[in-house]
Amino acid sequence: MTASPVRPGPVYLAVLVIATCGLVYELVAGALASYLLGDTVTQFSLVIGMYLTAMGAGAWLSKFVERGVARRFVEAEIAVAFLGGFSAPILSFAFLSPRWFHPVFYGLVFATGTLVGLEIPLLLRLLRTSVAFKDLVAQVLTFDYLGAFAASILFPLVFVPRLGLFRTSLFFGLLNIVVAFATIRIFRHEIGPPGGLVAKAALVGVLLLAGFAGADRLSDIAEEQQYADEVLFAKSSPYQRVVLTRNKAGFQLFLNGHLQFSSVDEYRYHEALVHPAFGVVPGARRVAVLGGGDGLAVREVLRYPSVDEITLVDLDPMVTRLARENPLFVSLNEGSLLSPKVTIVNDDAMKWLEKGTDLYDLVFVDFPDPSSFSVGKLYTRHFYGRLKRRLAPDGAFAVQATSPLFARKSFWIIDRTIEASGFETRPYHAAVPSFGEWGYVLAAPRAFEIPARLTPGLRFLSDETLAAMFSFGPDMARLEAPVNRLHDQVLVRTYESEWRKFD
């Protein structure tokens, strides 16, 4: 195919654009590296060095392009659009994996640099026959450097503040696509039938546009991938991320990504939490439920006519509102939180215990697992000490205490901590398929017997199986465990290391 003369003006414009894009990708990589890894000087130096080296490699590689120069140029352009355009999202997702970040980062910088390095030599060759060599070099390099200048000014002052880093890189990817289309048109005589090229360019263009439109949703997408099922509700309260999902079997509540219950088997969990304690304090009148804003433990408590006052203390109004208003919740908790016996207090349980002085016959402690220090404090000797002050002398309380199988030591730390706070304890366990083997601690500020009889009509618990719940097989048996304290939250550390093995 013979090269036919082209008007150089639009091509110079293309040079300006691709030079701007090229430098923007370099700046995106440098900015991300310095803010993710710190040590700005090193990161920027490394990025610039690697990028320039890669551009040199690209320039060298250009000599291996023998024929179809225009076609190769367009292909390089599409590839740059893709790699450069998605560089910010790719790098920030890669950062989530410490193992992959560095290879991905340097690989991406080098690949983008190589492609950008290919661009100018190929363009020079395309214009060779249309423009005198001295003018060609002067013009192309002028626009190349002008583009770099434009990028260096616009990137920090206009694009990043207005668009953010994600959209900036996606936007410049789109500009590369525009150049690709323009080149296809300008060099249509050399390229011949452009069908495949147009399709590729259009595909990358659409992807970039979609990314651009959905930049805000990128984090949401990442979140939804965690859940296998349909997401019914997903909102952030000031305290946590609240997500409700549904599948064929029923619906599930997640707080900060941790499953709180599944409607399929939550009755096992909640019956086990509530009923054994009623065997210790049969005529309980005043009951407090700490945590458990879903109203499911309260539902079980309401089975006892002797109870005439229930105080539910849950930090997050979003959860208690869901439990009162969402039809799925209301049907599952049988409208427990709408009962006139129930008072809802949205407060920190520790603060609530410290503030009041009135006593309770039974307290149910249903907090999320101790996976963070701020929840871990609700499993300390200090917490149980405060709880003791709010418990009637002949009262008792029950605590959900994570899995004695998956987090055996954590479970026994909780038991030991309660004991060290001046209680007799009776640890027990039950199988909840959604969670696995689950543990509880029943405690009272005096000696007491394991309950022998339960209220009739339960779905899961029975008098016959009750005694078995209080005995632990060898793989869950008691371990020597330290006391968990506010200033030495050994539970959070143990819990994290134990569950890491299973996650």
Partner 1 sequence: MKSSRREAIAALVGLPALSAFLGACRRNQVGAPFGGVIAGADVLRGHRIRTGELLSRPVARRESVGAAILGAGISGLSAAWTLARAGFTDFRIYELEDAPGGNARSGENAVSPFPWGAHYVPVPLYGNPALELLLSEVGALTGRTPDGEPEWAEEMLCAEPEERLWFRGLWYEGLYPRAGASRQDREELSRFEREMLRFAAIRDGKGRRAFAIPRRRSSDDAEWTVLDRISMREWLTRSGFSGARLFWFAEYATRDDFGSSLDDTSAWAGIHYFASRLRGVSPDGPFEEPASFLTWPEGNGRLVKRLVQAAGGRIVCGAVVFDVVPKAEGATLRWLDVPRNEVVEVTARHVVYALPRYTAAKVLAPWREDPPAFLRSFEYAPWLVANLTLSGRPADRGFPLCWDNVLYDSRGLGYVVATHQGDRGHGPTVLTYYLVFAGEEPRKAREKLLSATWRELADAVLADLSRAHPDLPALVTNVDVFLWGHAMARPHPGFVWHPDRTALEQPVGRIRFAHADASGLPLFEEAQDAGVRAAEAILAEEGERFTSLLG
| Contact footprint for partner 1 (CB under 8 A) | 31-32, 34-39, 92, 156-157, 160-161, 163-167, 215-216, 218-219, 238-239, 315, 348, 350-351, 372-374, 376-377, 380-382, 385, 485-489, 492
CB nearer partner 1, residue 35 or residue 145:
35
Structural contact between residues 244 and 322, judged by C-beta atoms closer than 8 angstroms: yes
Q: Which of 209, 237, 227, 377 is nearest to 293 (CA)?
A: 237
Q: Please give the DSSP secondary-structure letter assigned to residue 338.
A: G
Q: Concatenate the DSSP letters of all residues of 275-320 into one string.
A: HHHHHHSTT--EEEEEE-TTSHHHHHHTT-TT--EEEEE-S-HHHH
391-400/436-444 β-pairing: antiparallel
230, two tokens: 């349909």
CB nearer partner 1, residue 382 or residue 416:
382
Closest contact distance (angstroms) between CB of 241 and partner 1 is 13
CB nearer partner 1, residue 382 or residue 429:
382
User: CA 499 to CA 492: how far, in whole Å?
Assistant: 11
CB nearer partner 1, residue 185 or residue 235:
235
3, two tokens: 């090269």
CA distances to 28, 115, 157, 395 from 160, in Å: 9, 24, 7, 61
Q: How many CB atoms lie within 10 A of CB 185?
A: 11
Closest contact distance (angstroms) between CB of 165 and partner 1 is 5
Q: State how far Cα 15 lies from the chain centre.
A: 41
Chain length of the chain: 503
3-state DSSP call for residue 378?
helix
CB nearer partner 1, residue 265 or residue 348:
348
H or E stretch covering 242: strand 241-246
CB nearer partner 1, residue 68 or residue 164:
164
Residue numbers annotated as active site: 366
Q: What angle do CA 272, 278, 282 make, to 5 degrees?
A: 160
Closest contact distance (angstroms) between CB of 378 and partner 1 is 10
Contacts of 266 (CB under 8 A, 6+ apart): 296, 332, 432, 434
Closest contact distance (angstroms) between CB of 220 and partner 1 is 11
User: CA 472 to CA 492: how far, in whole Å?
Assistant: 23
3-state DSSP call for residue 106?
helix
H or E stretch covering 424: strand 424-432
CB nearer partner 1, residue 303 or residue 485:
485
In whole angstroms, how large is the CA radius of gyration of the chain?
32
Q: Which of 216, 154, 203 is nearest to 174 (CA)?
A: 203
CB nearer partner 1, residue 215 or residue 401:
215
Question: What residues form DSSP beta bridges with 251?
Answer: 246
Closest contact distance (angstroms) between CB of 103 and partner 1 is 17
Closest contact distance (angstroms) between CB of 239 and partner 1 is 5
Q: How many CB atoms lie within 10 A of CB 499?
A: 16
Closest contact distance (angstroms) between CB of 380 and partner 1 is 7
Q: Which of 295, 364, 298 is nearest to 328 (CA)?
A: 295
Question: What residues form DSSP beta bridges with 313?
Answer: 290, 345
Spell out the SS3 assignment of 153-200: HHHHHHHHHHHHHHHHHHHHHHHHHHHHHHHHHHCHHHHCCCHHHHHH
CB nearer partner 1, residue 112 or residue 380:
380
Structural contact between residues 367 and 387, judged by C-beta atoms closer than 8 angstroms: no
